[in-house]
């Protein structure tokens, strides 16, 4: 299986095309880039065992979650301000996602309205929720998403301290928010981090409150600790996204590969387990599924496609990853996602 | 023992001489080159323990398999379309192989006729069989090989999904095939991988069928899992080639060094165990034998010799590897392949 | 948490601004730079586990030691001859330290008088003591420091063999010493190391003597072995600085991360445990505290700030490390240093 | 302890000064240089634990072997054809060795006569013996060495297959040999390695014979396996040199650090254990002694000194390594070689 150079092609094109500040914003991690690298490397380091001579002609990557049927388990992770990368913006991503019979998560910081995005997608989409400082300000955003037809809410909990963002160019903003979130004004001797930001951050209490408000499946995004995964289940969440936010929030965390097995053992079957951070190929997706994930999300890779060719680029990235997933199944003798899950990865 | 720079010399010459597309085809692995590197590194990483002061003047690398007697256990792995690399093509390889008193496997995708190659070799050769989509189309190819005097059939099972190959230049084609294999036409919504390719791939049932047709020793090439090795023995195969296809089929597999010991324990003595993928010196060959292999195959290295000096280059590569194997035996106190097998490799 | 490039900025500025010999003196380690690198890498290699959704708005980095109250646990390690790096010298450092409500250790080899430094700091400071060859010559230095208002004595014991130092430029010298220490004259056949230097080095006997002389808390700096830590406690020391002297004394020692856990287990609670060597961020500080340290010291990093912007640069380095420590606490759910100590670092 | 750049200085000078072919011959290992690197790295990787505050002013590196008293345990390993590197040749080395109160091993392939070398050294030296194809041709060489006053015989057993050496320039040859050793002429079908070289290689039988002929202490050089060390003791040898010949004979062997502990356990106390291969500093020497060696030998490093400054360069290399050994003892609290041996190296 000779790796098509599609993704590295898009990566190079995106880097060439985007202004440096935007490229930097896209690729940045919380440190010097080492976590970004570690995330991808950790998937690569897992070994696959070839199992030839299996009967596979009825094989398929089809799957189902919360009553939705998808052609494959490769979701698009929420990425803010997509008009930064291409005029098509979130709508381009949504159209591609529909064409490839998958699902995406629309960011709270989308640069187009959630109503418009879902309408153009011609299918219900998932909405990613950021806490808006308190319950009163969070509720309207949630209600807007639900009213627009969001079929699941993904509550991202791992990024409470917002760093000074790049300056957004003219015409790009978080159009779904009533107002941008800023740190609280602090008194002398107080801490910007603790008093300015953290007093606006959500807590487990807020998760319980949110569970009451959300009428569709609720997922928590950004969990890495097995106890937090259990707590999400106890709070009535239908799913979690095991993620270190692509390395963008805290430097030198474990990789998802390191924590996933324990989380699968603890809450597998009780809620859906999605993963992201560093997935770069259909083989990586295969490995995540073999380790017990129910689906995978990609972040930066589809943005490289969006930046290069708009909606078409996103569609090709999804298709390429699905093809690679199929080839990996063919070569390892797995004819369904269920089969993959029963294959143990090779341990040296 | 100062390593003669012969092989790196040939590698450099071949790269300089071959058109870029052909060089790329030769060296390619399934990913970004990392498996190719990992394969070679894994052999290198094994340590050898010097054992001076042994009596060695009757020592020899001579060996025997399926009634054939060879001067050394270094076989030439099947490599397709050898006229791509030198006008001598497969015939050059065959002549060199005979001059060095060894054995080679002629590929199903040879660019010269199997009759002609065997005739010029002046010795029976082994034939590597690729499945031709179904039994009816496979049988004529097999029969042609047997009729031409193939003394063993090596059935390669690890490469069922053919990737878009480089465009073959004028005058180079798979002359032994009735027609090139292509994916089945697929209906909309069907998968190229599963419905196009895999419905033409062989299964264990086909191995059983093949065993009936093959009147000479039958080997399966491309097994990595111990259960598949056992199944090969159960199916009546006389040998296996433990191989990850030089890293060309699936990226991020284990190396052969990682799986060989378990396979030797399971089926050693019940069938012949050959290995390839990443062997680059007589020391690597020594290590494979010490780990329990009965013989080793080389792929790319002899092609570097072929590309540089035709038949003469192939002969020199074989000779150099044999000399290095002898020197390694001399320095470790092994006077026969049997002795090597009884030397445990040094474990740190 | 996107890492502010402040520290690498200062590092680059300092390198650009300082004469090569001074830069080399600052960055040097005992070997070829590998220990310097290993020290920093060892902190980085520790992994942090994100724990979102904790209640943190009363959180704080405040702490207390020997009755002193600090806003944060980031101390400035003793660094000699600070006028080499900026005209502000030790006074600049002291002023910045006070502005950031922390503590520093003034070197025996300070280039400004200890009286003057403490006076400008407007707070008591700690004094780092080097042995002056014998008790008679050491006592006056100690008494001068105590008389100037030193609130703790840090006795550095890991650097008994002074190497030929760079030539100090005009106007920079160890103004607090009666005379510079030189090796004893040796007879032919004697050893410069053993007879010249080591006969002037302090021993555990001298530590006991010193304990009698010191009326404020006494710390030993430069211990790495758990038995030496215990012996320090037995000798009545109130604290130790676990340190390999930033790699400047002996090459290829363990890193502090490797020895700290055992030392914490042995003497934690019986004396204060400070650490230095390779700490380069608030995250590193967090990790040291999580491993059981009571406070951390930084050496080269604040000198990069001093060299670039004098007192202001030192203040900004301290502030940046404290901010990073706060963010790390926010993202890991720790609301006090006590909390950090109860968080086990992630073990893969 | 700031590492004096003396050795890297000499390395650079030697490389600049020597003709490329000679430099290549000096630095070569059996493969692509990786063993040379691995040897040095393995010593470096051992960690030293600082132990300050010890009483050390009577400390010393003095030692004794076979009745000889040396100022330090750093011996010069046998290196062939030293006139290749400097006109002073072996005599330069011998003079330096005497000035530094140490010991050297004169190679069988010395480019000056053993009589002359020992005479200029003004002290008995050790003689390194290469087997001369059979007993009859070996005896005269041995007798010549003993007659010249060799105080020990070091029989090198790990290099039986001589590789085609560089062409020796005019005026440089193995003046102590009756005739150069060449492979036996072989019949067609015979092997150069086994029939040409190995039938002239020594065996354990020859060691027993040699033991009868040698009236001074006999050491075997080039043992790596614990069983061979035991066999040397059983054969009545007074010492062994654990060595992989600086990586020059067989590629990818274990490093000496890997095999030394087991050998020390097995034969320590029953014979003297010397080591070489990759020792590049007084710290490396310290580590070897801490692991149980009785003395260490250096090869290439003193040749760098010889090439740069003749006898003076060799003397400085020895002195520098001894100084570094003393400093390492000072910083780890060891006052004698005996003390070092009782210090366990730090294990992480
Ligand atoms: C430019 C960019 C913007 C992002 N914006 C959001 C966001 O608004 N909400 C969110 O939950 N995650 C956001 N993420 C994180 C992604 O959802 C996802 O967790 C991460 O990108 C996965 O790692 P990968 O990029 O290595 O695939 C963003 C990531 C990137 C690269
Ligand atoms: C250019 C090329 C063509 C190959 N063609 C075939 C083939 O036709 N049939 C087959 O079974 N293996 C084929 N192989 C795989 C080799 O038989 C062998 O498994 C592999 O090259 C061994 O690894 P090495 O190249 O690292 O020695 C090919 C390999 C190369 C490099
Ligand atoms: C230029 C320089 C001078 C130093 N001078 C002293 C000193 O006078 N006394 C002392 O105890 N330590 C001294 N140290 C060691 C530091 O106190 C501290 O242990 C070390 O710098 C910590 O490592 P770091 O630089 O990696 O943070 C010095 C370090 C440097 C870099
Ligand atoms: C140029 C050169 C020539 C050598 N010649 C001999 C020799 O004649 N006899 C011998 O026993 N070892 C010989 N050796 C090996 C050394 O004695 C020693 O084992 C080796 O150099 C130690 O490794 P080092 O160079 O890393 O210190 C030679 C080594 C070199 C580098």
B341 within domain boundaries: no
C256 within domain boundaries: yes
Chains A and D physically touch (3 or more Cβ atom pairs below 8 Å): no
* A194:C330 CB<8 A: yes
Place of tokens 């990913």: B31
Check residue A2 and give its pLDDT.
36
* Ligand 1 center to A25 CA (angstroms): 11
Res C8 pLDDT > 70? yes
Q: What helix, strand, coil percent values describe chain D, rounded to 5?
A: 45, 10, 40
- Give me the total of CB pairs closer than 8 Å, taking one residue from chain C and one from chain D: 99
D52 within domain boundaries: no
- Residues of D with a catalytic annotation lie at 245
Cα nearest neighbour of A45 on chain B: B252
* Ligand 2 center to B106 CA (angstroms): 11
Q: What are the tokens at C327?
A: 């963010």
* Ligand 1 center to A244 CA (angstroms): 9
Across the interface, of B44, B49, B283, the residue whose CB is closest to D225 is B49
Half-sphere exposure of B147 (CA within 13 A, CB side): 9
Chain D residues in contact with B57 by the CB 8 A cut-off are 194-195, 198-199
Res B163 pLDDT > 80? no
Read off the pLDDT band of A3 (50, 70, 90). very low
Chain B residues in contact with A323 by the CB 8 A cut-off are 192-193
Res C31 pLDDT > 90? no
Q: What is the DSSP letter of A1?
A: -
Mean pLDDT of all residues in C26-40: 92
* Ligand 2 center to D231 CA (angstroms): 46
A17 within domain boundaries: yes
Name D205's Cβ contacts closer than 8 Å, sequence gap at least 6: none
Choose the mutation target among B193, B203, B262 for the interface with A, i.e. most A CBs under 10 Å.
B193
Across the interface, of B49, B50, B327, the residue whose CB is closest to D193 is B327
Res A281 pLDDT > 90? yes
C-alpha–C-alpha distance, residues C244 and C223, integer Å: 7
Residue-wise pLDDT for C179-207, tens only, equals: 877 888 888 888 989 998 899 999 999 99
Q: What is the DSSP letter of A76?
A: E
The length of chain A in residues reads 348
Res C2 pLDDT > 80? no
C55 within domain boundaries: no
C-alpha–C-alpha distance, residues D97 and D86, integer Å: 16
Chain D residues in contact with C45 by the CB 8 A cut-off are none
Q: Which of B228, B197, B213 is nearest to B127 (CA)?
A: B213
Rounded to 10°, the helix D300-309/D311-332 angle is: 130
Chain D residues in contact with C157 by the CB 8 A cut-off are 52-53
What are the φ/ψ torsions at residue C267 (nearest 5 degrees)? Answer: -125, 0
- Give me the total of CB pairs closer than 8 Å, taking one residue from chain A and one from chain C: 99
Cα nearest neighbour of A61 on chain B: B191
Within 6 Å (CB) of ligand 3, which residues are found? Answer: C 26, 39, 77-80, 107, 109, 128, 156, 221, 243, 245-246, 248, 276-279, 298-300
Distance (Å) from the alpha carbon of A13 to chain C's nearest alpha carbon: 25
* C48:A253 CB<8 A: yes
Helices of type H across chain D: 6-17, 20-27, 34-45, 89-99, 114-121, 135-148, 204-213, 226-234, 256-267, 282-290, 300-309, 311-332, 337-342
Name C325's Cβ contacts closer than 8 Å, sequence gap at least 6: C61, C72, C74, C282, C283, C285, C286
Mean pLDDT of all residues in C268-296: 98
Q: Which atom of ligand 3 has the smallest separation from the CA of C221?
A: 11
B277 lines ligand 2 (CB under 6 A): yes
Check residue D162 and give its pLDDT.
63
Chain A residues in contact with B199 by the CB 8 A cut-off are 57
C-alpha–C-alpha distance, residues A248 and B299, integer Å: 44
* B52:D158 CB<8 A: yes
CA A193 to chain centre: 26
Distance (Å) from the alpha carbon of C54 to chain D's nearest alpha carbon: 35
Check residue D105 and give its pLDDT.
98
Residue-wise pLDDT for A289-338, tens only, equals: 999 999 999 999 999 999 999 999 999 999 999 999 999 999 999 999 99
D346 within domain boundaries: no
Mean pLDDT of all residues in A107-124: 98
Across the interface, of B3, B323, B335, the residue whose CB is closest to D251 is B3
**Alpha carbon separation from C315 to C40, C74, C125, C302, D224 (Å, rounded):** 22, 12, 16, 8, 57
Name D227's Cβ contacts closer than 8 Å, sequence gap at least 6: none
- Those residues of chain B whose CB sits closer than 8 Å to some CB in chain D are 1-3, 44-60, 283, 323, 326-332, 335, 346, 348
Res A234 pLDDT > 60? yes
Q: Is D152 helix (H, G, I), strand (E, B) or coil?
A: strand
* C249:D323 CB<8 A: no
A128 lines ligand 1 (CB under 6 A): yes
Q: Which atom of ligand 1 has the smallest separation from the CA of A280?
A: 27
Place of tokens 């985007």: A18
At A188, which helix (H) or strand (E)? Answer: none
CA B199 to chain centre: 26
Chain D residues in contact with B346 by the CB 8 A cut-off are 253-254
Across the interface, of B44, B59, B331, the residue whose CB is closest to D250 is B331
Chains C and A physically touch (3 or more Cβ atom pairs below 8 Å): yes
Check residue A140 and give its pLDDT.
97
C-alpha–C-alpha distance, residues B94 and B125, integer Å: 8
A72 lines ligand 1 (CB under 6 A): no
Residue-wise pLDDT for A142-183, tens only, equals: 999 999 999 999 999 999 876 556 789 999 999 999 887 788
Q: What is the DSSP letter of D34?
A: H
Q: What are the tokens at C243?
A: 């340190």
Q: Which atom of ligand 4 has the smallest separation from the CA of D244?
A: 19
Residue-wise pLDDT for C114-146, tens only, equals: 999 999 999 999 999 999 999 999 999 999 999
**Alpha carbon separation from D331 to A68, A202, C88, D263, D340 (Å, rounded):** 69, 53, 34, 28, 12
**Alpha carbon separation from C155 to A66, B33, C257, C328 (Å, rounded):** 66, 55, 22, 32
The CATH number of the domain where C216 resides is what? 3.20.20.70
Tell me if A244 sits within 8 A of C44, measured CB to CB.
Answer: no
Ligand nearest to the CA of B90: 2
Q: Which of C214, C23, C193 is nearest to C129 (CA)?
A: C214
Distance (Å) from the alpha carbon of D24 to chain C's nearest alpha carbon: 24
Name B119's Cβ contacts closer than 8 Å, sequence gap at least 6: none
CB atoms within 10 A of CB D342: 9
Q: What are the tokens at B91?
A: 């015939």
* A249:C60 CB<8 A: no
Chains B and C physically touch (3 or more Cβ atom pairs below 8 Å): no
Check residue D343 and give its pLDDT.
86
* C249:D330 CB<8 A: no
Read off the pLDDT band of B347 (50, 70, 90). confident
Q: What is the DSSP letter of D104?
A: B
C-alpha–C-alpha distance, residues C166 and C181, integer Å: 15
* D53:C248 CB<8 A: no
Task: Give all chains having 3 or more CB-to-CB distances under 8 Å with chain C.
Answer: A, D
CB atoms within 10 A of CB A170: 5
Name A5's Cβ contacts closer than 8 Å, sequence gap at least 6: none
Res B179 pLDDT > 60? yes
Give the total number of structural domains in chain C: 1
Segments forming the whole domain that contains residue D23: 4-47+63-179+190-275+291-332
Q: 3-state SS of chain C?
A: CCCCCHHHHHHHHHHHHCCHHHHHHHHCCCCCCHHHHHHHHHHHHCECCCCCCCCCCCCCCCEEECCEEECCCEEECCCCCHHHCCCCHHHHHHHHHHHCCCCEEECCCCCCCHHHHHHHHCCCCEEEECCCCCHHHHHHHHHHHHHCCCCEEEEECCCCCCCCCCCCCCCCCCCCCCCCCCCCCCCCCCCHHHHHHHHHCCCHHHHHHHHHHCCCCEEEEEECCHHHHHHHHHCCCCEEEECCHHHCCCCCCCCHHHHHHHHHHHHECCEEEEECCCCCCHHHHHHHHHCCCCEEEECHHHHHHHHHHCHHHHHHHHHHHHHHHHHHHHHHCCCCHHHHHHCCCECC
Across the interface, of D31, D194, D252, the residue whose CB is closest to B59 is D194
CB atoms within 10 A of CB A251: 26
- Those residues of chain A whose CB sits closer than 8 Å to some CB in chain B are 1-3, 44-61, 283, 323, 326-332, 335, 346, 348
Place of tokens 């070994």: A47
B340 within domain boundaries: no
C251 within domain boundaries: yes
* D163:B46 CB<8 A: no
Task: Give all chains having 3 or more CB-to-CB distances under 8 Å with chain A.
Answer: B, C
Rounded to 10°, the helix B256-267/B226-234 angle is: 40
CA A194 to chain centre: 27
Check residue B257 and give its pLDDT.
98
The list of chain D residues with pLDDT below 50 reads 1-4
Q: Is B40 helix (H, G, I), strand (E, B) or coil?
A: helix
Res B274 pLDDT > 70? yes
Check residue B162 and give its pLDDT.
63
Start-to-end CA distance of chain D, whole Å, equals 22
Q: Which of C307, C302, C258, C253 is nearest to C279 (CA)?
A: C302
Work out the mean pLDDT of chain B and round it to a whole number: 95
CA dihedral A313, A318, A324, A327 (to 10 degrees): -120
Nearest residue (by CA) to ligand 3, atom 2, is C79
pTM for the complete prediction?
Answer: 0.95
Using only C-alpha atoms, chain A has a radius of gyration, in whole angstroms, of 20
């Amino acid at each position: 299986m000779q790796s098509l150079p599609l993704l590295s092609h898009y990566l190079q094109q995106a880097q060439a095309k985007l202004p440096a500040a935007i490229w930097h914003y896209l690729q940045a991690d919380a440190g010097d880039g080492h976590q970004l690298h570690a995330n991808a490397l950790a998937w690569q380091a897992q070994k696959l065992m070839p199992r030839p001579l299996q009967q596979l002609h009825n094989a398929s990557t089809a799957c189902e979650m919360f009553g939705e049927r998808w052609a494959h388990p490769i979701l698009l992770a929420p990425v803010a301000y997509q008009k930064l990368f291409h005029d098509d913006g979130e709508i381009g991503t949504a159209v591609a996602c529909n064409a490839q019979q998958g699902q995406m998560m629309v960011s709270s910081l989308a640069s187009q309205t959630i109503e418009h995005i879902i309408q153009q997608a011609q299918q219900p989409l998932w909405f990613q929720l950021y806490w808006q400082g308190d319950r009163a300000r969070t509720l309207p955003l949630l209600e807007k998403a639900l009213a627009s037809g969001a079929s699941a809410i993904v509550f991202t909990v791992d990024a409470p301290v917002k760093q000074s963002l790049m300056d957004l160019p003219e015409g790009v903003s978080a159009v779904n928010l009533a107002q941008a979130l800023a740190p609280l004004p602090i008194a002398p001797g107080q801490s910007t981090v603790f008093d300015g930001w953290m007093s606006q951050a959500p807590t487990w209490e807020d998760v319980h409150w949110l569970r009451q408000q959300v009428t569709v499946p609720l997922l928590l995004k950004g969990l890495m600790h097995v106890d937090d995964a259990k707590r999400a289940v106890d709070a009535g969440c239908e799913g979690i996204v095991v993620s270190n936010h692509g390395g963008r929030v805290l430097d030198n965390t474990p990789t998802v590969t390191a924590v996933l097995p324990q989380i699968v053992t603890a809450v597998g079957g009780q809620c859906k387990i999605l993963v992201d951070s560093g997935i770069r190929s259909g083989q990586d997706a295969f490995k995540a599924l073999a380790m017990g994930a129910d689906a995978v999300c990609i972040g930066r890779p589809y943005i490289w496609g969006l930046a290069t060719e708009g909606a078409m680029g996103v569609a090709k990235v999804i298709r390429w990853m699905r093809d690679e997933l199929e080839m990996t199944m063919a070569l390892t003798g797995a004819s369904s996602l269920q089969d993959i899950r029963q294959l143990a990865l090779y341990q040296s």
